Each structure stands twice: as C-alpha cells, then as structure tokens.
A and B are shown apart, each in its own frame.
Chain A
Amino acid sequence: AQSVTQLDSHVSVSEGTPVLLRCNYSSSYSPSLFWYVQHPNKGLQLLLKYTSAATLVKGINGFEAEFKKSETSFHLTKPSAHMSDAAEYFCVVSAVRAGTASKLTFGTGTRLQVTL
C-alpha cells in the first residue's frame, strides 16, 4: 500500500520570497517520487523526479526537492518565487513490488499563490 499527503492545500508567498510545498509519503516498497505542476485548465507537467539516485533532485524552473527517508518526506522548494509559478502542484508516489506493474498515487494538490 502507498499513500501521499500534501500538508497544505493552499500556500501564498510574495514574489521573490522562498517557496516550500510539503509532501509526506508512505510506501511498502522503495518509492519513486514525483512533483507535477498544473496551470489552470491545463494538463500536468513533470517538475522533477526521485528514483533512488541522489536525494537532492533538481527540476525545471529552479525547483528542487529533497528525499528524506527517515522523515518520509519529499518537500518541494524554490529560492525565489515568480509570478509564473502560481499553479497547482501535485506530489506523486510510485512504489514497485517485483513482478508487478507499478501504480501512481497522487496527492490532493497544493495551490500556490504568488503576490506582488
């Protein structure tokens, strides 16, 4: 079984200030973790992914996330928010049991608002 919890449904930051979107996961197997971004009425786009290599993962548009096994967390950060970062962000976990197809489990999303 696997699950993912996004701790904040809505985050508001000022332009130029840091962004922190929090994600905790649970998994019976070694997980792969992803962050996706969705702009209004659009599909999702992959920001970054962790697949058991380096624990600090860098993605597009200046975002990065750190996999912390001891805390079962995969928080998304960005040093300086831009107005174009305003969107909904989804944390996703995929855990594989040998010999079976994997399954993605999506969090409920965090809406990021960026103000002037």
Chain B
Amino acid sequence: DGGITQSPKYLFRKEGQNVTLSCEQNLNHDAMYWYRQDPGQGLRLIYYSQIVNDFQKGDIAEGYSVSREKKESFPLTVTSAQKNPTAFYLCASSIGLINTGELFFGEGSRLTVL
C-alpha cells in the first residue's frame, strides 16, 4: 500500500541531544513537508521540499534541520538549539505545489524531552 511512514512513533530525548525523525514515502510525490502540532494550536510548517536536494524554511525552522537526498526520504533533525521541542511532528507529501491538491500525512512522531 502506498503511503507515508514515520518513525519512531514515540521518542524520548534528554535536553541537549539531537534527534532525527524519519519520514519515507512511496507515493512518488515531489513535495514533502514537516509540521509541528501543539495542543490547541493548528499545524505549523517547519520545512518543506519540492525537489531533491532543495528545501525551504517554513514558519518555525529555528532549531531544526532537514535533508532531501532522495525523493522518497525527508528526515527531520531536532537539534539542541530548539528550545521547546516536545511536540507531535507530522510529515506530509503532495504531488506538487500544495495549492493544487491534498496533503497526505504520516501517522506522526511524538517527541518528549525529559
């Protein structure tokens, strides 16, 4: 079945540690996105990528980094510079520019900083 796979589903981190969240898609979509979700707030865009080896900052990129070495993969690293990293992280993809159609989401990764 085609879709988006995020791992791990739950992750605990000590302060000062970097962690990497995995996102893989087999939908052959060009565009991929990372969103952060906090209780009572809408989704906020961290980074997005429309083609391999290219990505752009979203609204809250500080403290995060990404790479897009393969079309199928868009990992997100939460660095120690992110002051409040505890959140639910969602990866998404779309065929092309997001205004032309729907986003397909993974099931999310919940990061807790101890």
Residues of A contacting B107 in the complex (Cβ-Cβ under 8 angstroms): 41-43
A43-B98 in contact (CB<8A): no
Stretch at the interface among A13-21, A61-69, A102-110: A102-110
B99 within 8 A of A: yes
Interface centre among B43, B90, B101 (most CB of A within 10 A): B43
Q: How many residues of B contact A (CB 8 A)?
A: 22
A101 within 8 A of B: yes
A106-B43 in contact (CB<8A): yes
Residues of B contacting A109 in the complex (Cβ-Cβ under 8 angstroms): 40-42
Residues of B contacting A103 in the complex (Cβ-Cβ under 8 angstroms): 45, 98
B102-A46 in contact (CB<8A): yes
A77 within 8 A of B: no
Residues of B contacting A57 in the complex (Cβ-Cβ under 8 angstroms): none
A-B interface contact total, Cβ < 8 Å: 56
For the complex, what is the distance from the CA of A42 to the CA of B107, rounded to whole Å?
5
Interface of A is mostly: strand
B42-A90 in contact (CB<8A): yes
B64 within 8 A of A: no
A96 within 8 A of B: yes
B45-A44 in contact (CB<8A): no
Q: How many residues of A contact B (CB 8 A)?
A: 24
For the complex, what is the distance from the CA of A101 to the CA of B97, rounded to whole Å?
7
B43-A43 in contact (CB<8A): no
A50 within 8 A of B: no
Interface residues of B (CB under 8 A from A): 4, 40-45, 50, 88, 90, 92, 97-99, 101-103, 105-108, 110
List 9 A–B pairs whose Cβ atoms lie within 8 Å, in order of A's numbering: A32-B99, A41-B110, A43-B4, A43-B92, A104-B98, A104-B103, A106-B44, A108-B41, A108-B42
Beyond A44-B105, A101-B50, 16 extra complex contacts between A and B, CB < 8 Å:
A9-B40, A41-B108, A42-B108, A44-B103, A49-B102, A94-B98, A101-B99, A102-B97, A102-B99, A104-B45, A106-B42, A106-B43, A106-B44, A108-B40, A109-B40, A109-B42
Interface residues of A (CB under 8 A from B): 4, 9, 32, 34, 36, 41-46, 49, 90, 94, 96, 101-109
